[in-house]
Structure 1
């Protein structure tokens, strides 16, 4: 009888331990720039797309906003993501999933260099893949630029240079690609300042991400 009680105790203990370990939600880190951070929103902590994504995915997920306004994938730029605290936050989280949405600020005249962008973006991928356990990484194409005069963001560079490079890196590294460019075509009203999706635009963006992540 004592042996049976001991067996039951250890069985319950193991089940409890397993339940505790498996109850950790899927951790998602959203790497990006001001669009990720929720710039221009009245309550960005509530309406930035990572927060909306967190609500859409539900209890089994925990989404953390690791966006920083002005950030670039380029190491040598006016404001590189490599020099932001947010990149350290990503490592501290040890996320299961990372979404990378960079490239918009890289298009600025003083920043852009196609060869360095490809090299530095690849380096960012490699750096995040060094996290243990290895996260799943989604590469996101930038949102279209509707006003080429705002913020020195060059829409033609985003469309014809940034996007092809990100596509090529997705193929090279066998990483899933999330297209945030085409779904926004014809939806300039969602991006009132020409660059940053407003609250409704962020919600639209979050739905696209949620659909891809749940597949």
Structure 2
């Protein structure tokens, strides 16, 4: 056999080997390998979800929760903007954006509505029966998402008896749809240390005496994380 023929055979073997490596064990395999530790987090909510009135963004409950999941459970957390609208509720923020939420391919969703929904002075107000219907429909649609997200409902913030009434609905929907609920009543009920002081400069403007402060956001994140930890450890 001539040296030219030998060289040709060697080149053919190398080309074939390269192709097999690329297709079954190389670049393509690496690109298609699922990132089992990546977690896309979509927060849905009102001004609390926007971070009012933590002093800085990294002290908002969304940011703290993301850090807890990343450091405590080892996930690479990608926190999306989600749907966070101050003063809004289910009917004017969540429901019109269901498709957008699903298209983000979420792995984890927190839903924090009900505070403005329970306030008759807000455009977001809906009576209890309608609130339950909207929340049920929202959860049902999100549970049908192809990414099969874990969902945590969060109870309302600091609206006295109205909060208790709507929190009861939130807990009922969570039970009926077999999802988790983070009850944050203990963060605001009979407390003065988790909100205020008034007129403190924050990244969302001047604070008031009603929205959670840094301590309030920290405690909210801790309560939600307890639920997330159970869900994500099962998945992990």
RMSD, aligned α-carbons: 2.6
Residue of structure 2 aligned with 1:28, choices 35, 41, 57: 41
Alpha-carbon displacement from aligned partner over 1:27-73 (angstroms, at most 9, x marks no partner)? 11111110110123443x33321112222222522223432101112
Give unpaired runs (5+ residues) of structure 2: 1-9, 197-207, 231-236
Q: What's the counterpart of residue 201 of structure 1?
A: 216
Q: What's the counterpart of residue 48 of structure 1?
A: 60
Distance between the aligned counterparts of 1:29 and 1:82, measured in 2? 12
- Runs of 4+ aligned residues of structure 1 deviating over 4 Å after TM superposition are 3-9, 86-89
Residue 70 of structure 1: SS of its match in structure 2? coil
Q: Contact 1:53–1:63 at 8 Å: present in 2 too?
A: no
| CA separation of 1:4 and 1:185: change in aligned 2, threshold 3 A | same
| CA separation of 1:107 and 1:195: change in aligned 2, threshold 3 A | farther
Q: Contact 1:50–1:64 at 8 Å: present in 2 too?
A: no
Q: Contact 2:42–2:79 at 8 Å: present in 1 too?
A: yes
Give unpaired runs (5+ residues) of structure 1: 146-153
Distance between the aligned counterparts of 1:22 and 1:179, measured in 2? 31
Alpha-carbon displacement from aligned partner over 1:149-207 (angstroms, at most 9, x marks no partner)? xxxxx421111x10111111111111111111135444421122453111221122112
Distance between the aligned counterparts of 2:218 and 2:147, measured in 1? 30
Query: Normalising to structure 1: TM-score of the pair?
Result: 0.78
Distance between the aligned counterparts of 1:61 and 1:27, measured in 2? 6
1:21-170 alignment, distance < 5 Å: 21-22=34-35, 25-43=38-56, 45-58=57-70, 59-65=75-81, 66-73=83-90, 75=91, 80-82=92-94, 89-110=100-121, 111-143=125-157, 145=158, 154-159=159-164, 161-170=165-174
Which structure has the larger Rg over C-alpha atoms? 2
| CA separation of 1:176 and 1:82: change in aligned 2, threshold 3 A | closer
| CA separation of 1:106 and 1:5: change in aligned 2, threshold 3 A | closer
| CA separation of 1:194 and 1:121: change in aligned 2, threshold 3 A | farther
Distance between the aligned counterparts of 1:202 and 1:195, measured in 2? 12
| CA separation of 1:183 and 1:82: change in aligned 2, threshold 3 A | closer
1:164-179 alignment, distance < 5 Å: 164-179=168-183
Residue 132 of structure 1: SS of its match in structure 2? coil
Distance between the aligned counterparts of 2:212 and 2:139, measured in 1? 25
Count the aligned residue pairs.
Answer: 197
Residue 193 of structure 2: SS of its match in structure 1? helix
Query: Normalising to structure 2: TM-score of the pair?
Result: 0.72
